């Protein structure tokens, strides 16, 4: 029997989602907690990978069991997990359901605080003095709809077979001192969102033009794009399936 879990986590204390040697990951913590409850080794499969320090307000993962879970399984799981990882829901799905491959769309938000706020140090990138031209940043962001190959925003050493992604939403929204970049696509490359944000910030600072942004995409060269902004401002916010 296959189950999906919906979860959220603060990524500050973790070296990303995926299990890796000599580093604490979100996946490892959940594996251990489920295995403890079921008294059997369980390995979950996530909807994707988030880098070290990146957060998720909605993430999904699946795992298999031989018998139905008890109604209080979610409660027990949250009782074992650390406070910065929360299971929101456990749901029985069909046996072929796959948290990663069945995801139709993923959405991220990157949060910037314009000024200083000591209470948001772990969840925003704070810009104290820079003046950003948000209109130009949105004009550049709209260019993402016109392209599919985003190699220029990908980590150089990666094992993907294609750099193609279909972006369906990309815009900046300001609410007081909070400036948030919203982006949705069918898939994302490693480090892609943080590299896009870094390059759009260069547009906002008027270091490069909107046309320069277009040329960077066409170059397919990571060295042409902007810096990768800090992980702490990035949130995975939504994963869409056709059966959930």
Just list the catalytic residues. Answer: 51
CA atoms of 24 and 199, how far apart (whole Å): 30
Q: Is 108 annotated as a binding residue?
A: yes
Instruction: Please count the other Cβ atoms lying within 10 Å of the Cβ belonging to residue 188.
Output: 22
Tokens at 58, concatenated: 């909605």
CA atoms of 43 and 46, how far apart (whole Å): 10
Nearest CA to 172 out of 128, 135, 125, 122 is that of 135
Query: Collapsing DSSP states into helix, strand and coil, what is residue 211?
Result: helix
Angle CA(194)–CA(82)–CA(69) in degrees, nearest 5?
Answer: 105
The annotated binding site for substrate is made up of 108
Output the known binding site: 108
């Amino acid at each position: 029997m296959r189950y999906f879990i919906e979860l959220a986590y603060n990524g500050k204390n973790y070296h990303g989602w995926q299990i890796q040697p000599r580093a604490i990951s979100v996946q490892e913590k959940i594996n251990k907690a489920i295995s403890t409850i079921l008294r059997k080794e369980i390995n979950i499969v996530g909807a994707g990978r988030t880098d070290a320090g990146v957060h998720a307000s909605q993430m999904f993962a699946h795992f298999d069991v031989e018998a139905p879970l008890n109604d209080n399984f979610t409660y027990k799981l949250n009782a074992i997990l650390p406070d910065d990882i929360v299971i929101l829901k456990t749901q029985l799905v069909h046996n072929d359901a796959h948290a990663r491959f069945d995801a139709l769309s993923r959405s991220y938000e990157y949060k910037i605080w314009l000024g200083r706020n000591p209470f948001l140090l772990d969840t925003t990138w704070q810009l104290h003095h820079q003046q950003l031209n948000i209109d130009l940043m949105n004009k550049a962001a709209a260019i993402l709809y016109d392209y599919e190959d985003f190699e220029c925003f990908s980590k150089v050493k990666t094992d993907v077979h294609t750099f193609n992604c279909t972006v369906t939403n990309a815009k900046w929204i300001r609410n007081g001192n909070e400036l948030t970049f919203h982006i949705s696509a069918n898939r994302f490359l490693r480090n892609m969102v943080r590299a896009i944000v870094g390059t759009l910030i260069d547009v906002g600072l008027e270091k490069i033009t909107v046309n320069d942004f277009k040329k960077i995409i066409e170059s397919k060269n990571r060295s042409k794009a902007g810096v990768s902004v800090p992980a702490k401002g990035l949130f995975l916010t939504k994963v869409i399936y056709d059966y959930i």
